[in-house]
Structure 1
């Protein structure tokens, strides 16, 4: 018999005192009583377990709790049904005293004979109801026979249902409060817990818990996330109205029908024919052949019966994304996964993957099934593809495929990751191990999925620490992970494998990963570590590499000589300042033929520029039909991964060899007829800038050293080839540059030693900063409170470095919405749509404004006094009516005049549609 069918009887049987307590304030005519909210939450939990929680997530819970699925179901419903027992306290009930208009909530309490006098410890120290719930449940569990430590761990689930564990100091302050509560209130606590225990048949579950050592934090994280889901749904007055004239069955059915949560992914059978699988799920025609790396990834997925880490290393253009999705299909089908998370390094790459992934989800889902999609980054409201899904109807796709929707409830910063399929930035995965409120929802969202992370070579020492810890937690939950890279240093391959193996293998043989094979697929599972070399495709690019003098005159003359008969040149610079300088120099010689791309453009302008560039330089455009006769594209690192463009010649600033190879991936990227490329550019050519002195010792541009460090640049210079062959040279070049003791010219010895010392110190510093807000390893987190230590503590005196609560090692920056103002109103910068000052902003206008956000240079907010002044200035510039807009609330504005100038604090900025944003003047700091 289900809980929901017994709920009406449970409510009827509650005592006068229990029924007198309020849980949600409404009006004098209708407010929610505590027992109604508790049974609503228990019934939602039961529905979620039976209809939404995937087999993979249930397996993860069983793995961490050491309980079978039936026991877990009952425990979940019990904890959901008792999560707010702490509202049966004087502290909570007396919240109705202020404002006085809520005093009607206390009338029933007093009529029931319950004293509202402060009890021991309450009047002087706050007692949050989550804390009270934990203390009440802890005492009840101990009376049952559960040991104190275990009772603390189990009760932490109800304690943290507001997103974080209570500060241990506060818990200690109230150690005696609940045990000394008045008898009338203690009877209420016992009634709620005893009857909910009977209703959920929890006795043998608690008996089973007596025999295990847990639950550790990994177990309580997942359970808490599920309790929060049930509580949030049950707390929605639109779904569970305070005035109720329905049976509990009708009430729950109506609510969950309104939420429309899709069931876990029901995929079509992947089958045993890989080519047929690719045809069915990617829409490939019969003449397309599955590439070796794609076939190998699928075969490996089929061969693993337990969770595994798969590291796919292959050149650009090998179809790694399709390989990862196809392997995830096989794994998901075997494990009963909720869905898949596809993580990319940037918002641009995530946007590019979203449409491809959405189409794959439709094709890989059974006909008639509905899957929920979410685009996980801060600018998803600007994605037309994602917004279209939010308003699409269920079942609107063809009968041959499943349907895809962006579910309204499964959206937003905290709930979006709970959708079946998520495409987003890698930050959204790494935040799994960031000490932050509601981290448990992220754990629920990831623990039931297959995780795909692309471009894993692109993460610095700081981010890598988060990635390693994330892999530990995912392995602990039994989540399969697929990592992809075109250029992965061997040491990083080992570190990634070691992190995942730490939860599965006692003594992993990491030496198996010492191989020069390329392409390569490495795997880690309970069975150990294995590598599979993949047949390499024939050489598809042979490019000459030439070092250029770093002067702008040399750049202009070289480009002029190269483009004498036209063609497309891509110039990649390491900093925005260098890209703007190169743009200025080239524009004066090639007016109208030069485009600039970097991150200091307004979001809408950058997106439009990139879309136009993809259109002009994509695979479908040809000379005389969309592809320009002559074009010079100057860009920063945004061109490394985000832009699918094809250049005839590449000029790049010096960078670590793996990133140089990534940049070469934009050179002769697409197969083209000879007529598309001028005669001088028929053969691929690469020119390297940013080296100010070559002999006797390389000296690099300051920006390159600041971004990448001298050590890697020296190692790259020492192994820079005269000719680069792809894929033949990729693995050896990366291995040689990233070797522990790379071959370095004798004359560089002292400089190399100093560079190594500096790199080691910077890495140690980055790791220390990362550790400040990073979760401990799963085995070291015995209690949930250890996952929130940093939220309760201040930096220790004398601590030199304090980590920021973020997963990227970046300086604190501010984002503003760029607007232009005149005497009549204001408009998004560069737009014609004027908004009257003081008038309400409609939805379309709000979206247009949000699309014109821009990140301000870090130098504006680097100093504490500058930060305060800049923020204050921006707040003064922000139209007051934005506070009434759901999209614009909390945003700040930066006002530009008609000449493109703006001010923030002591800084004067200029914005140009061609050059982007730059600081043009800075007032001296007042002493």
Structure 2
């Protein structure tokens, strides 16, 4: 590489292949301006992030310095072919850290005199701003005392110093007064996200051509960086779609002829003109909470307070269901002629056929960019660049995913700041908020606070939210948005709570008239009694569900029913994903909204919690193991869910049968033995005891009137238990306190800013949930010397993904090492797997007289494993 007029143009920043395949390069100075130009387009043309314009020039100068660490010998020696001749003879130098840390070391060390004037008066927040921009690879840079001469010699320092000054001048950077301690942390987090996003787009070689020919920095900025940046942002598919000025309920739900009281309130609730808000909606299943949330979100979007929305749900199944639901309606939120994107975000979204079909190719020509959005198909769509990475899901106009993807925004996980940036532009809708334990609740409160601090609004949906949880969420919102927390006193149900920086308003809501009903509750002492009642109901033509708390209990109950001559279906989480999806589809056909009476009559579904939230199913009778009151209310919501004039005569009233011991006042540590012995390890005993006492004391659940009373009776007074359960209570409180403490310890701290001291790690190792450790296997068939995935699909990768099934780690930790021809076949199959799938153990099954069997490994040796469509995976 030859010398340049400006010495910094001799330093390479990106290596790229030329059209003829030979290696090429792009100067670090020009790449830095590419990234700054992207930031300029995002900030000035699209308001991403929402930052006071007075800070724009400062942020652009800082973003232009994001790769200042590449002006070092340690970085330049990574490509010997492009070693700058100004550095003399090529000499490899070991890199003790990345160029992000080197850059931070330069800006806070030998180049401090260049950086300091831009941030004069910012105190310690100056370092936070520099960490934010140097940590553009998704985590804060490390701290170093000094950059040694062998890493950055005088020539390197001279080039870096000259570039930093020139770049700040070219992009128009200048000093901005310190905004105060209340504003600075938010600005740091926003800059961190902006630097990541701008670098991702600015590093795409399809959008930014290599330019090794030297030209003045000003000329490159105006003639190359800025025009390319505008086109690149368009190609990335992240330009916000314009919201419609008005949206009616009929636009979102054409099948709805009249709004529910909740939906009518959502259309008229007095939202603030400026600033973030928190809306907590508490109403029954079937009250139209989702549509109410969409109406509220659209009103915020139309007012310019958000560019889109993200819906966070507790499970992949609920996320899939919501994605399918929104795919039919989300375009109604946006202007005609716009092409809004819809993305699905969770670990198994590659299995969602509709989402995969929605991904559009990245336009690579001006003609493609000029396509009229009106010519696009009416279905869901998403740009490939946004869809290719779960971390970019928050850049889509509408996103749907598991709550885990949103919680990673407030954990020390790579690219947390990017998630924050995307979310801050969107209304965050959290559904099924009652489904989160003490650990996840701490994460959710932190997420609400961060989101409010960045100017984002949140809508919380729940049918069974305890009062203390509602109060904690409002407090968290005010912690982020500012203002004082108001006392919450209203115990009405249904209820809408609106929190703003000015306080909180509790707005009672009328219930939906059709949802008022009385569910009869009966206690069954044993599983055998449950089998007898289910069998009798099925023979009388009723559609019945038996919801069990443990997979093994579901398998045993299913077997008992089949022995009694009842043709029951089984649905739990230990089926291969492909089989599980087929079982789910069959359940919807048989028990869903449009199922014919002839299809459902006399049918029984034995299931675990997988049908508790995600599926729109309707049963004439439900039998359930004892569970916490909020979950039982959810399960009862599947009773008589749809209007069916042809229910069998034996279905005289909605009825919930609960398998439970008697909640006696002398209950002790053995209270849950017997039919619920496995439930002891799933739910808190004391909550179960209070649930049983309240339910069986009244013998009914009257909705909506009983909902608040039952929830508070179970959750508001944790000490209200028999003396014999005091030891269990103490143990439960200890576990809960530890979970809360761990949640507080793991989440990011707003005021600390983008600091490496918070234990940053990868997404995989940063826990969003405290759950039992499990091992995911990929099932395979070994038949006549041929190895094939358990499930079939259009592509081998999809087939293997559909063949995945998990077991608790205490049941199985892996598989025995294969030998002989099988070992060769396994190795050949794994070569076709993705890099992140290589560590998944392949559980090879061979045919046996009873079905299919294989072997799994445990800490104590091997165990026989079986698999069939009647029971799923069993480790015997």
Give the TM-score normalised by structure 2. 0.88
Q: Is the 8 A contact 2:663 2:693 kept in 1?
A: no
The equivalent position to 2:524 in structure 1, one of 548, 552, 563, is: 548
Q: Tell me, yes or no, if structure 1 residue 72 matches structure 2 residue 55.
A: yes
Once residues 263 and 371 of structure 1 are traced to their aligned partners in structure 2, the CA distance between those partners, rounded to angstroms, is 9
Question: Equivalent residues in 2 for 1:765-844 (5 A)?
Answer: 765-776=738-749, 778-779=750-751, 781-786=752-757, 788-789=758-759, 791=761, 805-831=766-792, 844=795
Relative to structure 1, the CA distance from residue 182 to residue 41 in structure 2 (aligned partners, 3 Å threshold; closer, same or farther) is: same
The equivalent position to 1:606 in structure 2, one of 562, 580, 586, is: 580
Structure 1 residues 519-563: Cα deviation after superposition (integer angstroms, max 9, x where no partner): 0011211110121111123463222111112233x2222222223
Once residues 85 and 495 of structure 1 are traced to their aligned partners in structure 2, the CA distance between those partners, rounded to angstroms, is 43
How far residue 756 of structure 1 moved from its aligned partner, in angstroms, is: 2.6
Question: Equivalent residues in 2 for 1:495-894 (5 A)?
Answer: 495-510=472-487, 513-538=488-513, 540-552=516-528, 554-591=529-566, 593-624=567-598, 627-673=599-645, 675=646, 677-691=647-661, 696-697=666-667, 699-700=671-672, 701-720=676-695, 721-740=698-717, 749-776=722-749, 778-779=750-751, 781-786=752-757, 788-789=758-759, 791=761, 805-831=766-792, 844-860=795-811, 866=813, 878-886=826-834, 889-890=837-838, 892=840, 893-894=842-843
**What SS does the corresponding residue of 1:917 show, helix, strand or coil?**
strand
Q: Tell me, yes or no, if structure 1 residue 335 matches structure 2 residue 283.
A: no
Q: Tell me, yes or no, if structure 1 residue 910 matches structure 2 residue 859.
A: no
How far residue 858 of structure 1 moved from its aligned partner, in angstroms, is: 2.9
Deviates more, 1:297-306 or 1:557-566: 297-306
How far residue 457 of structure 1 moved from its aligned partner, in angstroms, is: 0.6
Once residues 755 and 879 of structure 1 are traced to their aligned partners in structure 2, the CA distance between those partners, rounded to angstroms, is 49
Q: Give 2:104's aligned residue.
A: 134
Once residues 480 and 441 of structure 2 are traced to their aligned partners in structure 1, the CA distance between those partners, rounded to angstroms, is 18
Relative to structure 1, the CA distance from residue 817 to residue 867 in structure 2 (aligned partners, 3 Å threshold; closer, same or farther) is: closer
Q: Is the 8 A contact 1:573 1:652 kept in 2?
A: yes
Once residues 159 and 12 of structure 2 are traced to their aligned partners in structure 1, the CA distance between those partners, rounded to angstroms, is 13
Q: Is the 8 A contact 1:262 1:371 kept in 2?
A: no
Structure 1 residues 252-293: Cα deviation after superposition (integer angstroms, max 9, x where no partner): 16952772424213111126xxxxx112333356xx111111
Q: Give 2:364's aligned residue.
A: none
Deviates more, 1:751-760 or 1:244-253: 244-253
Relative to structure 1, the CA distance from residue 42 to residue 588 in structure 2 (aligned partners, 3 Å threshold; closer, same or farther) is: same
Q: Give 1:839's aligned residue.
A: none
Once residues 293 and 835 of structure 2 are traced to their aligned partners in structure 1, the CA distance between those partners, rounded to angstroms, is 35
**What SS does the corresponding residue of 1:268 show, helix, strand or coil?**
coil
Superposed CA RMSD:
3.2
Question: Equivalent residues in 2 for 1:206-605 (5 A)?
Answer: 206-209=175-178, 212-213=180-181, 216-242=184-210, 248=224, 252=228, 256=232, 259-270=235-246, 277-284=248-255, 288-300=257-269, 302=271, 305-391=274-360, 404-411=380-387, 412-510=389-487, 513-538=488-513, 540-552=516-528, 554-591=529-566, 593-605=567-579
Structure 1 residues 303-341: Cα deviation after superposition (integer angstroms, max 9, x where no partner): 554311111000111010000011000011113412100
**What SS does the corresponding residue of 1:329 show, helix, strand or coil?**
helix
Relative to structure 1, the CA distance from residue 618 to residue 125 in structure 2 (aligned partners, 3 Å threshold; closer, same or farther) is: closer
Q: Is the 8 A contact 1:239 1:254 kept in 2?
A: no
Q: Is the 8 A contact 1:490 1:514 kept in 2?
A: no
Relative to structure 1, the CA distance from residue 85 to residue 902 in structure 2 (aligned partners, 3 Å threshold; closer, same or farther) is: same
Q: Is the 8 A contact 1:909 1:918 kept in 2?
A: yes
**What SS does the corresponding residue of 2:329 show, helix, strand or coil?**
helix
Q: Is the 8 A contact 1:51 1:263 kept in 2?
A: no
How far residue 822 of structure 1 moved from its aligned partner, in angstroms, is: 2.2
Q: Give 1:837's aligned residue.
A: none
Q: Is the 8 A contact 1:366 1:401 kept in 2?
A: no
Relative to structure 1, the CA distance from residue 302 to residue 897 in structure 2 (aligned partners, 3 Å threshold; closer, same or farther) is: same
How far residue 476 of structure 1 moved from its aligned partner, in angstroms, is: 1.1
Deviates more, 1:867-876 or 1:194-203: 867-876
Q: Tell me, yes or no, if structure 1 residue 23 matches structure 2 residue 17.
A: no
**What SS does the corresponding residue of 2:522 show, helix, strand or coil?**
strand
Q: Give 2:365's aligned residue.
A: none
The equivalent position to 2:78 in structure 1, one of 80, 83, 95, is: 95
**Which segments of 5 or more consecutive residues in structure 2 lack a partner in the other structure?**
214-219, 362-367
Q: Is the 8 A contact 2:797 2:832 kept in 1?
A: no
Once residues 310 and 827 of structure 1 are traced to their aligned partners in structure 2, the CA distance between those partners, rounded to angstroms, is 50
**What SS does the corresponding residue of 2:781 show, helix, strand or coil?**
strand
Once residues 868 and 560 of structure 1 are traced to their aligned partners in structure 2, the CA distance between those partners, rounded to angstroms, is 39
Q: Is the 8 A contact 1:504 1:526 kept in 2?
A: yes
Once residues 145 and 636 of structure 1 are traced to their aligned partners in structure 2, the CA distance between those partners, rounded to angstroms, is 57
Relative to structure 1, the CA distance from residue 332 to residue 369 in structure 2 (aligned partners, 3 Å threshold; closer, same or farther) is: same
**What SS does the corresponding residue of 1:265 show, helix, strand or coil?**
coil
Q: Tell me, yes or no, if structure 1 residue 39 matches structure 2 residue 22.
A: no
Once residues 84 and 400 of structure 1 are traced to their aligned partners in structure 2, the CA distance between those partners, rounded to angstroms, is 39
How far residue 914 of structure 1 moved from its aligned partner, in angstroms, is: 2.0
How far residue 353 of structure 1 moved from its aligned partner, in angstroms, is: 0.7
Relative to structure 1, the CA distance from residue 495 to residue 812 in structure 2 (aligned partners, 3 Å threshold; closer, same or farther) is: same
Once residues 850 and 741 of structure 1 are traced to their aligned partners in structure 2, the CA distance between those partners, rounded to angstroms, is 43
Q: Is the 8 A contact 2:449 2:477 kept in 1?
A: yes
How far residue 667 of structure 1 moved from its aligned partner, in angstroms, is: 0.7
Q: Is the 8 A contact 2:314 2:403 kept in 1?
A: yes
How far residue 725 of structure 1 moved from its aligned partner, in angstroms, is: 1.4
How far residue 754 of structure 1 moved from its aligned partner, in angstroms, is: 2.7
Deviates more, 1:906-915 or 1:647-656: 906-915
How far residue 678 of structure 1 moved from its aligned partner, in angstroms, is: 1.9
How far residue 396 of structure 1 moved from its aligned partner, in angstroms, is: 8.7
How far residue 214 of structure 1 moved from its aligned partner, in angstroms, is: 7.8
Once residues 489 and 716 of structure 2 are traced to their aligned partners in structure 1, the CA distance between those partners, rounded to angstroms, is 11
**What SS does the corresponding residue of 1:687 show, helix, strand or coil?**
strand
**What SS does the corresponding residue of 1:904 show, helix, strand or coil?**
strand
Q: Give 1:197's aligned residue.
A: 168
**What SS does the corresponding residue of 1:856 show, helix, strand or coil?**
strand
Once residues 582 and 449 of structure 2 are traced to their aligned partners in structure 1, the CA distance between those partners, rounded to angstroms, is 39
Give the TM-score normalised by structure 1. 0.84
Once residues 342 and 620 of structure 1 are traced to their aligned partners in structure 2, the CA distance between those partners, rounded to angstroms, is 26
